[in-house]
Amino acid sequence: MATGSIWGINGAVIHVLPEKNTGEFFISERVCIGEKQLAGEVVSLRRGASGEMAVVQVYESTSGLRPNEKVYGTGQPLSICLAPVWVGHIFDGIGRQLDKVQNGSVPGEKKWAVRLLVKEGDYVPEGGIFAEVTETQAITYRAMLPPYISGKIRAVAKNGMYTIDENLIEIEGAGAFPLKQDYPVRTSRPVRERLPLIQPLITGQRVIDSLFPIAKGGVAAMPGGFGTGKTMTQHQLTKWCDADLIVYIGCGERGNEMAQVLEEFAQLTDPRTGASMLARTILIANTSDMPVAAREASIYTGLAVAEGYCSMGYHVAVMADSTSRWAEALREISGRLQEMPAEEGYPAYLASRLAAFYQRAGYFENRNGTRGSITIIGAVSPQGADFSEPVTVNTKRFVRCFWALDRRLAYGRHFPAINWNDSYSDYVSAVLPANVIENRRRILEILTEEGRILEIAKLVGTQDLPQAQQEILHVAKIIRETFLQQNAYNAADAYTPFAKQVEMLDALSSLIAKGGAL
Amino acid sequence: MNISKPPLRHEYLNTREIRGSLVILEGVQNAAYDEIVTINGKTGRVIEISGDKVIILVFDGTQAFTLADTRTRFTGQLMKMPLSVEMLGRTFNGAGLPMDSMGALPTNEWREINGTVINPVQRVYPRFPVQTGFSAIDGMATLVRGQKLPIFSADGLPHNELAARLAVNAQTVVFAAMGVSVDTMQFFQEAFDENNARSRAVLFINLASDPPAERLITPRLALTAAEYLAFTHGHDVLVILTDMTAYVEALREISSARGEIPGRKGYPGYLYSELASLYERAGCIKGKGGSVTQIPILTMPGDDITHPIADLTGYSTEGQIVLDRQLHRQHIFPPVAVLPSLSRLMKDGIGEGKTHAVHADTANRLFAAYAKVADARALLSIIGEEDMTEEDQKILQFGERFETELIHHTAGEVRTFAQTIEVGLALLAGL
């Protein structure tokens, strides 16, 4: 394995001089740093006047680190360990369990009740499922072969209790495989085919499902200044959307919010399964006081886990709150690497990284024949609530669903504060039934008309408006207050089933027709 | 935490460059990142290492330093401060040295000032309200114990008066002033003295005339003291940090001296992380009594709420209290702009048994009504009162009364939660 010693230290970035005759560091290699065995990853390699140099980003505080301390390569890229340990728990940005002490179980030693699904002589396809474990009340963990390995089973274990490291099956010519599977976080998992996006992801939020819907496997961005309810909306979606599993990535956000999710979700019941909400939730937390390099990695850790469960045949929704903090982590590390900045100090590769991130969403036929999806919903925190800043602009290029949060609506306590003029969704025609599309069109027309009339009313007051216009204002007000606004704290209002939304739309539509407004 | 290697005793003389607060040394062996050094009797910190070259940030200025005769000694320690309950009633300067005549703090307890990351699993979600006595805050943006709720102010607004009134009502206060003028310092000292609050307070004061680099450690000293009082001695501590704008300006100054690539408006790209590393040091911890509640105060340059300082603070804190110049001109105190103000933790901190059974509902109705006032006022200036609908006229009256009866407090007037809700309900009855 490659070995080196520290030459320079600047915040989360260290420079390492490789030692001769010890093997080579490689890009994305996970390394161990110094006496304290800090975790790090190789981000660049170069040969200069002073010899070879490896640049490493460190996932922990570098305070107290000294030059000449040793750095050891692990020979492995930064990876997650896929095992039945993720659901219902909280992890840091590079996938280390944060609530481990509390649960008192070290995954490596715990034995799981494994059911084998194959027998000797069976042929298992690439990435095929061969065993399962009940992970939580809502999720069954399925042990798979790695994505490119297939073959005939030479030997298979009996149903029983096993640790995640114990081998369960042996494949001819490919070796033996246990419950767990290590997978690099920066490589997207291969699939057999990408399927068209035609299933809606029902969130129970009326303004989203009926006006700006998102498909399973789709991508949405939610930008908004502070206090417009990004995190609140993400929490609502996490609670109520009809995905099988949620991966919630708290990326550079507040510690108290993660504490809240943990407390609240443990008490909430998922209406679809009757299990605790936590039984279908994975939390990745890089709170804003945690090291910045781990924030950069947290997004990939979350995606790699999501892809793991997607290939077991689950519909996974990934909530990233917030992608702006991730972009800022890129900027900070880029600055420490002395890279040439593009706009506002962000690195020039910001756009390509964002694109690669959102590209990992989709509705897939997996290599093992199961179907699953990854929906990505990213919160964006535009600086100064200015939607023309680099992260928002570049995000808009790659998402097909845009929920613009509006400070003015938030000030008037109109929640969710999704502005109907600035938001859009490309999934409307693919996922909504025709009658809903028609009703949706009418409602949006009334709201647009209302905006125009209110401009005039600002100058002349509503009293002097013609009867027809007053009618429109009245109907629009009903639409806003009964349909668009939704109270997250009211148990009856927090979630509206889609069938009921359709009825409400019909009712509103006939109200519009009765008024003869359009 | 001691750094494992023993401290090096010999002094380094090979200084290559002195620029602002930065000193660059060459030929250094074995310096640690973040290590504290003494340099010509002053204190500095290692902020970058490249081979045998080390960059040091000197906290108390590099005046009269020479290239030939600058002596640097590495201490082998990270930055630490002494801690004791005896701190209550004391005043320290921005670097943590006593400013009063009571001498050094008698204690063996030393802790690192950068704090440690709090595992979110160890946090207790804050749920208990703090009664500040001001209706605009208690009623509309309730402060919760363990919250970080900044005051967004601007030059010429009475944020110091508000902060002083909040401070003297608290059980235990840690007060950190960064880059404040001498009269501001005196104002706070008098406020504490007048209210006999001095014995419940620890003051850290970095004056506008003190070196900017010192400003970077002042809030960390204050927060370390607060964490000690809260989590070792069970106090509910209120931390007031003023003025965060001066802190951020100091950060920019040093970043630019280091030649770092700037983000927005010349501020360093890591400003968010930097601010969050301070603000996240608020909260309640499982199994430990006490709490740290933060009220950072910042003055928005040019009254601009989208300025990076206000913006990045708003993104990392749990709400904000915004002060408004217009209300201040109308002699409303505290001039809290209710609509842009927000407490994210309010929803779980209020209600039956905590503040008032109908608190949430009343606050929501007040918000909705007050949100219409601005439009009604705009209309008033165009068409006059006679031509307005009766509904709009009621809204106008409501706005007037809301500002003078609910937001405004006469000198020394303190309202309980119940009184605040009563005022609110009375206003709503007029609609």
**Structural domain includes residue B181:** yes
Asked if B50 lies within 8 A of A15 by C-beta distance, the reply is yes
A271 reaches B (C-beta below 8 A) = no
CATH classification of the domain holding B379 = 1.20.1270
Residue B25 distance to chain A (closest CA, Å): 14
The rounded distance, in Å, linking the Cα atoms of A371 and A217 is 11
Residue B286 sits in the same domain as residue B238: yes
Residue from A58, A63, A333, A406 to probe the interface with B (highest B Cβ count within 10 Å) = A63
A8 reaches B (C-beta below 8 A) = yes
Residue of B264, B320, B340 with shortest CB distance to A383: B264
Does residue A103 carry a pLDDT above 70?
A: no
Residue B249 sits in the same domain as residue B271: yes
The rounded distance, in Å, linking the Cα atoms of B226 and B66 is 38
Residue B338 sits in the same domain as residue B263: yes
Q: Is B2 helix (H, G, I), strand (E, B) or coil?
A: strand
Domain end call among A29, A47, A77: A77
Mean pLDDT value of segment A163-181 = 94
Domain end call among B74, B94, B116: B74
Residue B104 distance to chain A (closest CA, Å): 27
**Structural domain includes residue A109:** no
Asked if residue A492 lies in contact with residue A204, where contact means CB atoms within 8 angstroms, the answer is no
pLDDT, position A108: 67
CATH classification of the domain holding A447 = 1.10.1140.10
Asked if residue B61 lies in contact with residue B98, where contact means CB atoms within 8 angstroms, the answer is no
Asked if A227 lies within 8 A of B4 by C-beta distance, the reply is no
Whether omega for the bond prior to residue A422 falls within 30 degrees of 0, making it cis, is: no
Domain end call among B36, B53, B74: B74
- Report chain B residues whose CB lies below 8 A from the CB of A225: 311, 314
Mean pLDDT value of segment A398-412 = 91
Residue A205 sits in the same domain as residue A228: yes
In tens, the pLDDT along A227-270 reads 888 988 999 999 999 999 999 999 988 999 889 888 888 888 88
**Structural domain includes residue A126:** no
Residue B141 sits in the same domain as residue B160: yes
Residue A359 sits in the same domain as residue A462: no
CATH classification of the domain holding B25 = 2.40.30.20
**Structural domain includes residue B6:** no
B306 reaches A (C-beta below 8 A) = yes
Residue A227 sits in the same domain as residue A326: yes
Residue of A341, A385, A412 with shortest CB distance to B306: A385
Provide the pLDDT confidence category of residue A459 given band limits of 50, 70 and 90.
confident
Mean pLDDT, rounded, of chain B: 91
Residue A294 sits in the same domain as residue A252: yes
pLDDT, position A337: 86
Domain end call among B313, B347, B381: B347
**Structural domain includes residue A236:** yes
CB burial string B147-178: b at 16+ within 10 A, e below:
bbbbbbbbeebebbebbbbbbbbbebbbbbbb
Q: Which domain holds residue B383?
A: 359-429
Residue B200 sits in the same domain as residue B312: yes
Q: Is B136 helix (H, G, I), strand (E, B) or coil?
A: helix
In tens, the pLDDT along A133-162 reads 999 999 999 999 999 999 999 999 999 999
Residue A219 sits in the same domain as residue A349: yes
Number of CB atoms found within 10 A of residue A415's CB = 21
Residue of A7, A62, A256 with shortest CB distance to B123: A256
Residue A261 sits in the same domain as residue A401: yes
pLDDT, position A102: 43
How many domains does chain A contain in total? 3
Mean pLDDT, rounded, of chain A: 91
Domain end call among A77, A95, A122: A77
Q: Per residue of chain B (431 residues), what is the pLDDT tens digit?
A: 444 444 456 788 889 999 889 999 999 988 999 999 999 989 999 999 999 999 999 998 888 899 998 999 999 889 999 999 999 999 999 999 999 999 999 899 999 998 888 889 999 999 999 999 999 999 999 999 999 999 999 999 999 999 999 998 888 999 999 999 999 999 999 999 988 889 999 999 999 999 889 999 999 999 999 999 999 999 999 999 999 999 999 999 999 988 888 888 889 988 988 999 999 999 999 999 899 999 999 999 999 998 999 999 998 999 999 999 999 999 999 999 999 999 999 999 999 999 999 999 999 999 989 988 988 898 888 888 888 888 889 999 999 999 999 999 998 899 999 999 999 999 999 88
User: Least CA distance to A8: which residue of chain B?
Assistant: B50
Does residue A518 carry a pLDDT above 70?
A: no
Does residue A517 carry a pLDDT above 50?
A: no
Sequence-distant (6+) residues with CB within 8 A of B256 are: B262, B266
Residue A421 sits in the same domain as residue A466: no
For chains A and B, CB pairs below 8 A equal 194
CATH classification of the domain holding B154 = 3.40.50.12240
Residue B396 sits in the same domain as residue B258: no
Asked if residue A168 lies in contact with residue A177, where contact means CB atoms within 8 angstroms, the answer is yes
**Structural domain includes residue A113:** no
Asked if A98 lies within 8 A of B119 by C-beta distance, the reply is yes
Residue from B24, B25, B26, B117 to probe the interface with A (highest A Cβ count within 10 Å) = B117
pLDDT, position B345: 93
Phi, psi of B236 (to 5 degrees): -90, 105
Asked if B280 lies within 8 A of A8 by C-beta distance, the reply is no
Residue B373 sits in the same domain as residue B388: yes
Residue A261 sits in the same domain as residue A387: yes
User: How does DSSP assign A406-455, residue by residue?
Assistant: -HHHHHTT-SS-B-TTT-EETTHHHHS-HHHHHHHHHHHHHHHHHHHHHH
Asked if A62 lies within 8 A of B339 by C-beta distance, the reply is no
Domain end call among A429, A449, A481: A429
Asked if B273 lies within 8 A of A67 by C-beta distance, the reply is no
Residue B110 distance to chain A (closest CA, Å): 17
CATH classification of the domain holding A380 = 3.40.50.300
- Report chain A residues whose CB lies below 8 A from the CB of B279: 288
The two structure tokens encoding residue B259:
């030649």
Residue A410 sits in the same domain as residue A294: yes
Residue A214 sits in the same domain as residue A246: yes
A492 reaches B (C-beta below 8 A) = no
**Structural domain includes residue A178:** no
B3 reaches A (C-beta below 8 A) = yes
Asked if residue A235 lies in contact with residue A204, where contact means CB atoms within 8 angstroms, the answer is no
Tell me which residues of chain A, numbers 90 to 119, contact chain B at a CB-CB cutoff of 8 Å.
Answer: 90, 98-99, 102
Nearest in space to B225 (alpha carbons), one of B176, B177, B276, B274: B176
In tens, the pLDDT along A260-307 reads 888 888 888 887 888 899 999 999 999 988 988 999 999 999 999 999
CA A125 to chain centre: 28
A49 reaches B (C-beta below 8 A) = no
**Structural domain includes residue B144:** yes
CATH classification of the domain holding A46 = 2.40.30.20
Residue B59 sits in the same domain as residue B107: no
Residue B35 sits in the same domain as residue B84: no
Residue A315 sits in the same domain as residue A237: yes
Residue A365 sits in the same domain as residue A488: no
Residue B63 sits in the same domain as residue B106: no
pLDDT, position A106: 53
Residue B198 distance to chain A (closest CA, Å): 31
- Report chain B residues whose CB lies below 8 A from the CB of A381: 315
Q: Which domain holds residue A200?
A: 193-429
Residue B108 sits in the same domain as residue B146: yes
Residue B147 sits in the same domain as residue B248: yes
**Structural domain includes residue B8:** no
**Structural domain includes residue A106:** no
Asked if B33 lies within 8 A of A290 by C-beta distance, the reply is no
The two structure tokens encoding residue A414:
């109109």
**Structural domain includes residue A111:** no
How many domains does chain B contain in total? 3
Sequence-distant (6+) residues with CB within 8 A of A154 are: A120, A170, A171, A172
What's the burial of B97, exposed, middle or buried (CB within 10 Å: 0-12/13-18/19+)?
exposed
- pTM for the complete prediction? 0.91
**Structural domain includes residue A159:** no
Number of CB atoms found within 10 A of residue A407's CB = 18
User: How does DSSP assign B336-360, residue by residue?
Assistant: EEEEEEEETTHHHH-STTTS-TTHH
ipTM of the complex: 0.87
